A and B are shown apart, each in its own frame.
Chain A
Amino acid sequence: MYVAGKKQTQKFLFPHHLSFILHARPLRFPFDSPVSTAIRVVYSLIIINKAGGLIYQREFHAGLQQLSTNDFLVLAGTFHGVHAITHSLTPQIPASAASTAPSIGTTAGTSTSTTAPSGAWTLPNPSLPKTGIEVLETDRFRLTCFQTLTGTKFLLFTDPPTANIDVIMRKVYELYADYVMKNPFYQLEMPVRCEAFDRHLATWMRGRT
């Protein structure tokens, strides 16, 4: 009786002329719709080897400009160089001021600046190592860069409001480790042509909400 009742309500909820809602649901229109922020669109993924060469490029969603392969190669090389420059642009602050930086103008009087040894400099965030660009923001997209210890760079282009990109990045890296690095036919630093990687990446990106 309970089952029958449920069936009835289901029938009532989705009459034939409204059934397109059910069918339309899996299709996503990431742009122009307010839902797009919830879906967290990933536009594309680029992998750059440690020499600045493009070894993988894949688009998941339309939204960015269509570029030729040559343009992507140029882009990878440019980003590689800029990444290195941004690394070296890191401001260095006097070691004595680092600890007093949050309380500007209150206690850090002239005494600290005079007692500071002239050679002692520190980074703004001494607990973290110096890196190049990690996140770049524009009006249209957000670029997140993850550099592995071996120098390979993963670039993810996403919608600006997308959160938890590190989760996506970790998954991409995991898939890369599983299906590219463990592929016995893959040559290091060479373009990634691994069908299993493509497939798993596509499946995971599709399943992600």
Chain B
Amino acid sequence: MTVYSFYIFDRHADCIYQRRWLPSSLSGKPSRPTSDTQTLSHGELPGPGRSKRSADDDAKLVFGTVFSLRNMVRKLGGEDDNFICYRTSQYKLHYFETPTNIKFVMLTDTKAPSMRIALQQIYVNLYVEYVILTPSTSRQVVKNPLSPVEHPGGVGVNNELFEESLELFVVCMMMSGPASGETV
């Protein structure tokens, strides 16, 4: 399976983290993953269909989509129904929302299995561990229960620990193939 991109939205509908994986860059340079939108919008060449749209705009579109779909699903299936994923002919979008309305979104290829557990694991094992429990600015690992709850503009989410472990998690998932995607 292939993961194309990953987004985190906070409860104010801001995109606090986004990361894209392109198949060519996976095997290429082993550089540290970057999350800030500047490097994404300048570092990658836009495709023909999206030349006018930056990665930032993409994130907004993704948010709008999952927001509308989530509301639609709740209206149809009841308040406790959950939107899990949708699939088009070209890609699959997986969605996971925490009780605090943080939304995790992942775009993969169409053959990918359900990534709900994977997204939950990213939340529990990576996000809670490295974003919520570590202070936003310092580089040394200090678990801090008083760290800010909000991450305006993605400050504090794009720390080294979180990004590295996310990179490792996703690459492992891609290597392990579709069958074991849920268990990783």
- Interface residues, chain A, CB within 8 Å of chain B? 64-65, 67, 71, 75, 78-79, 81-82, 85-94, 96-98, 100-101, 104-106, 108-110, 112-113, 116, 118-119, 121, 123-125, 128-141, 157
* A129 contacts B23, C-beta separation under 8 Å: no
* B174 contacts A104, C-beta separation under 8 Å: yes
Q: Which of B46-60 contact A (CB under 8 A)?
A: 47-50, 58
Query: Is B83's CB within 8 Å of the partner chain A?
Result: yes
Q: Which of A85, A113, A136 contacts B25 (CB 8 A)?
A: A113
* A92 contacts B110, C-beta separation under 8 Å: no
- Taken together as a complex, chains A and B put the C-alpha atoms of A6 and B20 apart, in Å, by 70
- Taken together as a complex, chains A and B put the C-alpha atoms of A93 and B107 apart, in Å, by 13
Number of interface residues of B (CB under 8 A): 48
Contact with A along B141-152 (1 / 0, CB 8 A): 000000000000
Query: Is B65's CB within 8 Å of the partner chain A?
Result: yes
Given contacts A65-B75, A116-B24, whether A85 and B61 have CB atoms under 8 Å apart is: yes
Q: Which of A91, A96, A106, A131 contacts B24 (CB 8 A)?
A: A96
Q: Which of A71, A87, A104, A132 contacts B23 (CB 8 A)?
A: A104
* A124 contacts B109, C-beta separation under 8 Å: yes
Chain A residues lying within 8 Å of B82, measured Cβ to Cβ, are 138-139
Query: Is B100's CB within 8 Å of the partner chain A?
Result: no
